[in-house]
Amino acid sequence: MSTVTNPILPGCYPDPSICRVGEDYYLVTSTFEYLPGLPVLHSRDLVTWEQIGHVVHRPGQLDYTGIASSGGLYAPTIRHHDGLFWVICTLVGQPQGNPGGNFLMTATDPAGPWSDPMWLDADGIDPSIFFDDDGRIWVHGTRLAREPQWYHQTEVWIRELDPETKKLTGPEHVVWSGAVKGAVWAEAPHLYKVDGTYYLMAAEAGTEFHHAESIAQAEVVTGPYVGTRGNPILTHRHLGRQYPVVGAGHADLVEAADGSWWAVLLAMRTYGGYHYPLGRETFLVPVVWEDGWPVFAPGVGRVPDQVEVPFATGPATGLVQGGTSGVVPSDDPRWTAVRALPTQVATPAGDGWDLPLRPATLADLEVPAFLGLRLQHRDADLVVRVGADLTDGEEVGVAVRQSEKDHVRLAVTTHEGVVRAQVVHRQGGEDRVVGEAAVAGGAPLTLVVRARGVDLDLLVGAGDDAPVVVGSALTTDLDTVATGGFLGLWLGVYGTSNGAPTGTVAHVERVEYLPA
């Protein structure tokens, strides 16, 4: 037996979906505007997780042009059937005329390669897929109700999928609008068949404080579905905003090889008041069945801080669980870029990168020269060693990114041979300088983001000089409670020529992510 500490995937790993194949578990989460998209994680025991690939992993699979922060890839579902892995997902926020909406991708190996998208004639978000034991395949998802009885009422629809053409076929059935009358956003639906009964599980009330998970059952897959009197089967809203874990929901069930049941779900850890800078994270909860219904966290009724997994034999270690400390080499699968793959904006160079500056800035709806990692800990340092021969108007630096409109950057610039560093807080689309200092000394530069709870310090040092603080900010001014959207915070290195043509390349010698 082994004990795992929640969350099992710390940092911004929201909307988890899971499936089991024999003794192996596979999990995917949302990635929004970041690429590569939809990380695929593998475990043998639900305790130790390793990232083995991504579903969206090559240029041209999806078009991210013009997608703003908190758009992009929403709420994937992963399933395995007849030797094939299936992921169904939604691409949100595409400009008019570009492909978007719900799609399928398949692979024989979950590590990839994955197919190009097969687009589905279905609106809405949060699609899922169910393989019945009679061979029929059913796709289901969420959309705003076409004849709503209340504001933001949604409805869950279900429709058959032709296994040969991968197209939806036959009539559509609207089967659910949530367990609570007046509840908004009945979403993230998943279908299961247990002991001959069909179960439809869905989140409702929005992916924030009032989030909850509910379930209904039916004798046939197209309904009618009747909810349990015990709904919601999991929520933290009754615990209040002072409880350290809020927003529990968006769950997916899996039966382990030993017959036990488990759920992965999202929730948020608060600190600094009602804020969650780490974003929506993935948690694990044990499940038992009583009187024909699932009971989440029996005897506790809330997401536990620690979970005992009887069939796990080792400690909770892995690439994502807790994050690895130290140098993050260029082949580490945690690297992401915005609207492009990391290798489309930079070239691996040993443990580091050659990062060509781009005219686009972090405020633009284009592809910036940005390489980022999720913030996975309340207390952590990002230490970047970088050199660049800048010309006037160019900058290189590190950033704490929430979106185009909200981020903090430490920008190093040069003017007539004088090197300066500024800390700029972009808040609601407006820039404000919160610190400034001259940079004297040799190359390369050491740039540091230091997170200690809600406090952010940004430091610079040149040559062998110890880095000094240039300016400070608060993570609570950057999280989704303060700014909107769906993302946790990213830390990264960037370079821009601020709209001008450029041939400058920043040489990122080393990046370290250091939990404190």
pLDDT tens digit sequence for 78-104? 999 999 999 999 999 987 766 789 999
Give domain status of residue 73, yes or no.
yes
Examine the domain organization and report whether 407 and 355 are in the same domain: yes
Of 277, 309, 341, which marks where a domain is finished? 309
Tell me, yes or no, whether 321 lies in a domain: no
Q: Is residue 318 part of a domain?
A: no
Q: How many domains does the chain have?
A: 2
**288 and 383 share a domain?**
no
Could you tell me the two tokens for 317?
Answer: 């270690």
The answer on 431 and 459 residing in a single domain is yes
| Co-location of 386 and 509 in the same domain | yes
Is residue 320 in some structural domain? no
User: What whole-number distance in Å separates Cα of residue 164 and Cα of residue 162?
Assistant: 6
Residue range(s) defining the domain that contains residue 41: 2-309
Q: Is the pTM of this model over 0.95?
A: yes
- Of the candidates 179, 142, 172, the one whose C-alpha atom is nearest the C-alpha of residue 158 is 172
Q: CA-to-CA distance for 167 and 292, rounded, in angstroms?
A: 33
Within-domain flag for 284: yes
Partners of 424 in beta bridges: 409, 433
pLDDT digits (tens, 9 = 90+) for 33-44: 999 999 999 999
Same domain, 334 and 287: no
Residue 152, Cβ density class (10 Å: 0-12 exposed, 13-18 middle, ≥19 buried): middle
- 46 found inside a domain: yes
The catalytic site residues sit at: 15, 187
The answer to whether residues 382 and 422 belong to one domain is: yes
Q: What is the 3-state secondary structure (H, E, C) of 379-424?
A: EEEEEEEEECCCCCCCEEEEEEECCCCCEEEEEEEEECCEEEEEEE
**Tens-digit pLDDT profile for the chain (516 aa)?**
889 999 999 999 999 999 999 999 999 999 999 999 999 999 999 999 999 999 999 999 999 999 999 999 999 999 999 999 999 999 999 877 667 899 999 999 999 999 999 999 999 999 999 999 999 999 999 999 999 999 999 999 999 999 999 999 999 999 999 999 998 999 999 999 999 999 999 999 999 999 999 999 999 999 999 999 999 999 999 999 999 999 999 999 999 999 999 999 999 999 999 999 999 999 999 999 999 999 999 999 999 999 999 998 766 554 455 456 689 999 999 999 999 999 999 999 999 999 999 999 999 999 999 999 999 999 999 999 999 999 999 999 999 999 999 999 999 999 988 999 999 999 999 999 999 999 987 889 999 999 999 999 999 999 989 999 999 999 999 999 999 999 999 999 999 999 999 999 999 999 999 998
DSSP assignment of 89-120 equals: EEEE-PPTTS--EEEEEEESSTTSPPPPPEE-
Q: How far apart are CA 512 and CA 516, in angstroms?
A: 12
Asked if residue 316 is part of any domain, the answer here is no
CATH of the domain at 482: 2.60.120.200
Cβ atoms of residues 376 and 10 within 8 Å: yes
Distance CA 421, CA 106 (A): 47
